[in-house]
A and B are shown apart, each in its own frame.
Chain A
Amino acid sequence: MAVYKKITKDNLVQFLQELTKDRILIAPVREHELVSFSPVADAGKVDFTFQNSFVPPKSWFFPQTEQIFSFRIEDGKYELSAPSLPGGTVLFGVHPCDLKSILALDPVFDGKFDDNYYCTRRKNTIIIGLGCQSVGRNCFCFKVGGGPLESNGADIFLTPTGGDFLAEGVTNQGTDLINKHSRFFSDSSAEQVDKEKREGTDRLLKQSTGLKGDFNLPKVKAFLDANYEIPYWEDLSYRCLGCGICTYLCPTCHCFDINDYARSGLEGERIRCWDSCQFKDFTLMAGGHNPRPSKKERVRNRFMHKFKYHEDRYNIFGCVGCGRCVQKCPVNIDPRKIILDLQEVAGND
Chain B
Amino acid sequence: MKGIEEQIRATSSQLLAAGDVQLVIGYGAGSDNSKTMPVFIKRAEDVGKLVFNPLCVSNLANYLLHWNNFEGKIAIVVKGCDSRSIIRLLQDKQIEREKIVVLGVNCPGQLKSGQAEAKIPVEAVLSEATVDNGGIKLQTSGGLITFSLEEGLLEKCRQCESSRPVVSDYLFGEKGFEADKAALQFNDVAALEGAPLEEKSRYWDKYFERCLRCYACRNSCPACSCRECVFDMVEPDWVAKTVNLSDNTAFHMIRAFHVAGRCTDCGECERVCPAEIPLRILNRKIIKDIKELFGAPMPGSDLEALPALSFYAVNDPESQN
Binding site for B on A (CB under 8 A): 31-34, 36, 54-55, 64-65, 137-138, 209-212, 235, 238-239, 241-245, 248-249, 257, 259, 261, 271, 273-274, 276, 279, 281, 295, 326, 328, 330-332, 334, 336-337
> Is the pair A243, B210 in contact by a Cβ cutoff of 8 Å?
no
- A257 CA to B51 CA in the complex, in Å? 41
Q: Tell me how far the C-beta of A106 lies from the nearest C-beta in chain B, rounded to whole angstroms.
A: 24
Residue of A32, A33, A55, A244 near B216 (CB, 8 A) is: A244
Q: Can you name the residue of chain B whose Cβ is closest to the Cβ of A210? A: B122
Q: State whether A211 and B219 are in contact (beta carbons under 8 Å apart), knowing that A34-B210, A239-B40 are contacts in the complex.
A: no
Q: Which of A54, A238, A259, A332 lies in contact with B274, CB distance below 8 A?
A: A54
Residue from B218, B220, B243 within 8 A of A64 (CB atoms)? B243
Within 8 Å by CB of B117, from A64, A137, A337, lies A137
Supposing A330-B58, A332-B37 touch, asked if A271 and B30 sit within 8 A by C-beta, the answer is no
Interface of A is mostly: loop
Name B275's contact: one of A54, A209, A332 (CB within 8 Å).
A54
Q: A32-B207, A281-B232, A330-B271 are in contact. Are A65 and B242 (CB under 8 A)?
A: yes
Could you say which residues of chain B place their CB within 8 Å of the CB of A241? Answer: 62, 216, 219-220, 272
The one of B40, B207, B215, B272 in contact with A238, judged by C-beta atoms closer than 8 angstroms, is: B40
Q: Would A330 and B220 count as touching, CB distance under 8 A?
A: yes
Please determine whether B32 and A244 come into contact, CB atoms closer than 8 angstroms: no
Give the interface SS of chain B, mostly helix, strand, loop or mixed.
Answer: loop
Bound complex: CA A210 to CA B31 (Å): 10
* Binary contact track B33-68/A, C-beta < 8 Å → 1, others 0: 001111110000000000000000010001100100
* Cβ–Cβ contact B241 & A257, under 8 A: yes
Chain B, Cβ-Cβ closest to A338? B31
Q: Are A271 and B242 in contact (CB under 8 A)?
A: yes
Q: What are the interface flags for B218-245 relative to A under an 8 Å C-beta threshold, 1 for contact and 0 otherwise?
A: 1110000000000010100100111110
> Nearest CB to that of B212 among chain A residues?
A248
CB distance from A268 to the nearest CB of B (A): 11
Is there an interface contact between A337 and B31, defined as CB atoms closer than 8 Å? yes
Residues of A within 8 A of B275 (CB): 34, 54
Question: 18 extra interchain contacts, Cβ-Cβ under 8 A, other than A261-B237, A326-B31, A332-B32?
Answer: A32-B206, A32-B276, A55-B212, A64-B243, A137-B117, A212-B122, A238-B63, A239-B37, A239-B38, A239-B39, A244-B212, A245-B212, A248-B212, A330-B58, A330-B216, A330-B272, A332-B35, A334-B31
Q: Which residues of A contact B274 (CB under 8 A)?
A: 54, 245, 248-249, 328
A235–B240 Cα distance when bound, in Å, is 34
Partner of B31, one of A33, A64, A328, A336: A336
Question: Does B174 sit within 8 A of A, measured CB to CB?
Answer: no
B214 at the interface (CB under 8 A from A): yes
Cα–Cα distance between A98 and B244 once the two chains are bound (Å): 24
Q: Would you give the shortest CB distance from A297 to chain B, in whole angstroms? A: 15
* Closest Cβ–Cβ distance, residue A290 to chain B (whole Å): 13
Which one of A33, A259, A331 lies within 8 Å of B37 (CB-CB)? A331
Contact with A along B238-254 (1 / 0, CB 8 A): 00111110000000000
- Chain B residue numbers with a CB within 8 Å of A33 are 276
Q: Are A244 and B214 in contact (CB under 8 A)?
A: yes
Q: Taking CB as reference atom, which chain A residue is nearest B29?
A: A332
Instruction: Report how far A261 CA is from B244 CA in the complex, Å.
Output: 14
29 A-B pairs with CB atoms under 8 Å apart are A32-B206, A32-B210, A34-B276, A54-B275, A64-B243, A65-B242, A65-B244, A238-B38, A238-B40, A238-B63, A239-B37, A239-B38, A239-B39, A242-B219, A243-B272, A245-B212, A245-B272, A257-B241, A259-B234, A259-B237, A261-B242, A271-B240, A271-B241, A271-B242, A273-B241, A273-B242, A295-B66, A331-B38, A332-B31
Contact B219 A65 (CB under 8 A): no
Chain A residues, CB < 8 A from B135: none
A349 to chain B, nearest CB (A): 22
Give complex CA distance A271, B242 in Å. Answer: 8
**What B residues does A259 contact at CB under 8 A?**
234, 237, 240-242
Q: Given the interface contacts A245-B216, A281-B232, A328-B274, does A261 sit within 8 Å of B240 by beta carbon?
A: yes
CB of B173 closer than 8 Å to a CB of A: no
B303 to chain A, nearest CB (A): 27
Assess A137 versus B40: contact at CB under 8 Å? Given A259-B234, A281-B232.
no
Residues in B with CB closer than 8 Å to A65 are 241-244
Q: What residue in chain A is nearest B233 (Cβ atoms)?
A: A281
Q: A34-B210, A245-B216 are in contact. Are A209 and B122 (CB under 8 A)?
A: yes
Q: How far is the CA of A253 from the CA of B268 in the complex (A)?
A: 26
B121 near A: Cβ within 8 Å?
Answer: yes
Question: Are A245 and B214 neighbours in the complex by a CB distance under 8 Å?
Answer: yes
- Determine the chain A residues whose CB is within 8 A of the CB of B121 once the complex forms: 209
**With the chains together, A295 CA to B32 CA distance in Å?**
23
Q: Which of B31, B39, B214 contacts A243 (CB 8 A)?
A: B214
What residues of A have a CB within 8 angstroms of the CB of B219 in the complex? Answer: 241-243
**Alpha-carbon distance A281/B227, docked complex (angstroms):** 12
Evaluate contact between B30 and A244: CB separation under 8 angstroms: no
B58–A331 CB distance below 8 A: yes
Most chain B CB within 10 A, of A235, A248, A276, A330, is at: A330
Are A243 and B215 in contact, CB atoms less than 8 angstroms apart? yes
Across the A-B interface, the 9 shortest Cβ-Cβ residue pairs: A332-B37, A243-B216, A330-B272, A244-B214, A334-B31, A337-B31, A241-B219, A239-B38, A238-B40
